[in-house]
A and B are shown apart, each in its own frame.
Chain A
Amino acid sequence: MTDADFRDAFHRHKDVVYRFAYRMTGAEPVAEDIVQDCFAALWRKPEAFDSGRGSLRAFLLGIARNLVLKHWRSRRPQEELGEDTSICEPFDAAALERGEAVKKAVLLLPPLQREALILAEYEEMPLEDISRATGAELAAVKSRLHRARVNLRRMLAPLMQSKGTLNATK
């Protein structure tokens, strides 16, 4: 990879990697570190990217995802990172500003559900690309996404109901 190729890749994909890392961790300094480590990995081993297996965007998000999970494990060494089917309990979302409530709800999701939701809803990635970036079966991605939406609807119910009422009165 030449210097120009690297700079081009960086300028095209830095925002998506940063947004993903930020939404996964909720912390700007951690997201910055992850972006740096992600592109450092690309620079050190560009041959790891195979264009036949997916886009560079999906490849970089895959690296960022691994770094996020590494960060998560370092903070919770006792917790297993598995398919979490637990139901997130609702909180007083109406007491928070809407953006803050959504942030809190997304960060309360189990990590595997959160990454599926962020990639699908915020980055509008096709399910096949999410499957490739996360190294999970397509069925698992669909299941995680479904559970994430169920959990979010549950947690953000007060905000959705108020919005529904607002729409109904129009």
Chain B
Amino acid sequence: MQPNDDFRNDDAQLRDLLEDWRAPQTPLSIERRVLASRQVWWRFLLRGHIRVPVPVACCLVALMVFAAWRSMRPEGASAPCSIAEQPMVCTSAIPGAC
């Protein structure tokens, strides 16, 4: 027997062994999944994802925090103080006193 025959025999043995591991049948559900997934393009809105660079994400978070802070602040909190003119109300019972 030539050394090459040994190698071939070994390879044939290996091939025989490899055949002992059988892959399962393709599940029937795959067809439904594949054909359904390509029809609903808007599914991306539910399951899709996008990559956002970290600096952009940080800016967006900062903007959101600022917007939230602005919306939660009581109105006029930062307005300059001013003396509002009050209408004169006469409380005296004497006619012509005011």
**Nearest chain B residue, comparing its CB with the CB of A160:** B13
Contact of A121 among B15, B31, B33 (CB under 8 A): B15
Q: Is the CB of B22 within 8 A of A36?
A: no
Q: Is the CB of A36 within 8 A of B17?
A: no
Contact of B13 among A18, A39, A121, A163 (CB under 8 A): A163
Q: Is the CB of B30 within 8 A of A153?
A: no
Q: Which residues of A contact B17 (CB under 8 A)?
A: 98, 102, 152, 156, 159-160, 163
Q: Is the CB of B26 within 8 A of A35?
A: yes
**Nearest chain B residue, comparing its CB with the CB of A102:** B21
Give the interface residue-count category, chain A: 20 to 34
B43 to chain A, nearest CB (A): 10
Q: Which residues of A contact B37 (CB under 8 A)?
A: 36, 40
Give the interface residue-count category, chain B: 20 to 34
Q: Is the CB of A22 within 8 A of B18?
A: no
Q: Which residues of B contact A159 (CB under 8 A)?
A: 17
Contact of A153 among B14, B21, B26, B31 (CB under 8 A): B14
Dominant secondary structure at the B interface: helix
- Which of A7-15, A51-59, A76-84, A133-141 has 4 or more CB atoms under 8 Å from chain B? A7-15
Q: Which residues of A contact B80 (CB under 8 A)?
A: none
Q: Would you give 11 A-B contacts (Cβ < 8 Å), ordered by A?
A: A6-B38, A10-B35, A23-B23, A35-B30, A40-B37, A43-B38, A99-B21, A102-B17, A122-B23, A160-B14, A160-B17
Q: Is the CB of A102 within 8 A of B30?
A: no
B60 to chain A, nearest CB (A): 25
Q: Is the CB of B31 within 8 A of A14?
A: yes
Contact of A98 among B20, B24, B35, B38 (CB under 8 A): B20
